[in-house]
Amino acid sequence: MLEARALTLEVPGRRLCQGLDVRFQAGEMWGILGANGAGKTTLLHALAGLRRPEGGAVHLDGEPVLDLPARQRARRLSVLLQDEAEGFWGTALDWVRLGRFPHGRGLTGGGEDEPIVRAALERVGVAHLAQRTMATLSGGERQRVRLAMVLAQQADALLLDEPLQHLDLRSQLALLRLFAGEARRAGRLVIMVLHDVYWVSRYCDRALLVFGDGRVLHGPTGEMLQREPVEALYGCPLLPVEAAGGRLFLPVEGAP
Amino acid sequence: MQRPVPLILLLLGLALLAGLAGLLGGSVPLAPVDVLHALLQPDGGTAAQILWTLRLPRVAAAFACGALLALSGVLLQVLMRNPLAEPYVLGIAGGAALAALGALLMGFALAGVQLAAFLGALCATGAVFVLAGAGSWNLFRLLLTGVVLSAGFGAGVSLLLALAPPTDGRGMLFWLMGDLGYATMPALAWGALALILVLTGSLAHALDVLSAGELQARALGVAVRPLQLTLFFTASLATAVAVAQAGPVGFVGLIVPHALRLAGLTAHRWLLPAAALAGGGFLTFADLAARTLAAPQQLPVGVFTALIGVPLLLWLLARRP
């Protein structure tokens, strides 16, 4: 449903990827991995139609994503951005209601949108925070509210930039299960930028590795998360350990 | 906000009260019965003359200017995503003041001075727009350009005041603090107010989304740059109209949106009409104080908006952790 064709992305002085071809299918869970500054967020923004690529194009259901009317795009594709709730004056409920904006007259606080908004807050376990202003929430609480907005948008593709940041272990697990349900039961496409290789190995069907020097690898998670590519990705020696249905990569002491 | 409607009704009641008080009070107090009579059956008596030629235009102008300044504050705070943004942050007041002062010193009559203030405000807007990159700005650059131009205009105003003959300077100083004594065209301000309320009312939901951040708004399907340009020019127009009538009255555009947000009004479809009512009522009331407290002398209304605004804002800020 989402497809990068010959995608080339550059930031000043550096090429992040060149001629990248990837097809993201409905029902798949993708994990994007890479070191800090490798270009994961830039890639996600390009996929979401928020950034014009230096070459190639991104197509959503066969149409160039940049050519779609903005609201129509936002009805089909929702994005979780990193830390964008700063300086918002409203409550958690107000924030989640924003997710109904692409669907038209959805911010009126009533009508058919309100149950969707309430259900989204419920699903990520923050219904009790609805009337709190965003500024008074803790980092983890705010992150859940931000995720609730993405769910309230009811798009078929979820592009999530570090969805697990600020979350405790139990919440990480709960939300990954929720996303997996979105992909497997609701047939949505879920693409997540993550820093935890273990979660990718356990929950994602496919992995995309961004090396930051122009190289990008992608494929089935089992093939991608081998010792050599992951060591090259993070630039440090790692020891793979199979555990609890996934693969951990433990840093090895003493090596360069 | 759970119940915005009672708050809006309260503001409406206060605004009507301020308007009524503005009609009754002044250097010649009028009895309510006389005001009612003069309003319904203008008979050419003293009360009717005072009411129709002096009080009513002035109260109407005060209300419209206050409403315009408060709306401008709301729009600029969303545009800048900065709670300290206010109508004069983009150098509009400075441009208006410099042009008005220049026109005054060149001997123009009142209408000419007001026109100069309006044109000065628009020129300042245009200058900020072009110097900040003609729409390809980032907000930081826009804000800095406005601040720098404001400083420049301020220096120009000081220079003109220093060079001006002392007799011309005093009236001008009053105008620079905000003074409704010269407001003669309430119809123009009301027309601008109606236009801006309709326009921004139709954008209320997009404004809610924009207040969540520029990139977030784009992700949710808002055409951000056209919206930002609309905000920029709408806020500038509102400020230019208000400044041309009333001079650069301070604090209305800063304190009214703040007070309403702290009271829990954050959704723009409520915040915008509430700001118009509260801003209008606030300036009407402040103008009444300016006209009556030292009557027959009239004081600059800007002194009173500051005297009321500063403690009110401090109290509101102290109330919230």
Question: 3-state SS of chain A?
Answer: CEEEEEEEEEECCEEEEEEEEEEECCCCEEEEEECCCCCHHHHHHHHCCCCCCCEEEEEECCEEHHHCCHHHHHHHEEEECCCCCCCCCCEHHHHHHHHHHHHCCCCCCCCCHHHHHHHHHHHCCCHHHCCCEHHHCCHHHHHHHHHHHHHHCCCCEEEEECCCCCCCHHHHHHHHHHHHHHHHCCCCEEEEECCCHHHHHHHCCEEEEECCCECEEEEEHHHHCCHHHHHHHHCCCEEEEEECCEEEEEECCCCC
User: Has residue B1 got a pLDDT over 60?
Assistant: no
Most B CBs within 10 A among A98, A100, A153, A191, hence the mutation to make, goes to: A98
CA B286-B288-B293 angle, 5° bins: 95
- Report the alpha-carbon distance of residue A5 to residue A134 in Å, rounded: 38
Taking 50 as the pLDDT cut, the residues of chain A under it are: 106-109
Query: What is the tens place of the pLDDT at every residue in A217-227?
Result: 999 999 999 99
- Report the alpha-carbon distance of residue B100 to residue B77 in Å, rounded: 27
Q: Which residues of B touch A79 (CB under 8 A)?
A: 219
Which residue of chain A comes nearest to B205, CA vs CA? A107
**How far A109 CA sits from the closest chain B CA (Å)?**
10
Question: A87–B213: do the CB atoms touch at under 8 Å?
Answer: yes
Give one word for A207, left, alpha or beta, with left for phi > 0 and alpha for psi -120 to 50. beta
* pLDDT for res A23: 96
Does residue B266 sit at the A interface (CB-CB below 8 Å)? Answer: yes
Question: B215–A72: do the CB atoms touch at under 8 Å?
Answer: no
Q: Which residue would you say has higher pLDDT here, B214 or B129?
A: B214
Which residue of chain A comes nearest to B209, CA vs CA? A98
Whether the Cβ atoms of residue B242 and residue B276 lie closer than 8 Å to each other: no
User: Has residue B189 got a pLDDT over 80?
Assistant: yes
Most B CBs within 10 A among A89, A105, A159, hence the mutation to make, goes to: A89
Most A CBs within 10 A among B220, B222, B261, B272, hence the mutation to make, goes to: B220
Query: What is the tens place of the pLDDT at every residue in B218-259?
Result: 999 999 889 988 998 898 889 888 888 888 888 899 889 988
The beta-carbon neighbor of B216 closest among A84, A105, A109 is A84
Question: B222–A105: do the CB atoms touch at under 8 Å?
Answer: no
* pLDDT for res A105: 56
Whether the Cβ atoms of residue B293 and residue B299 lie closer than 8 Å to each other: yes
Give CA separation, A218 vs A211, A224, B39, B97, in Å.
11, 7, 79, 62
Does residue B221 sit at the A interface (CB-CB below 8 Å)? Answer: yes
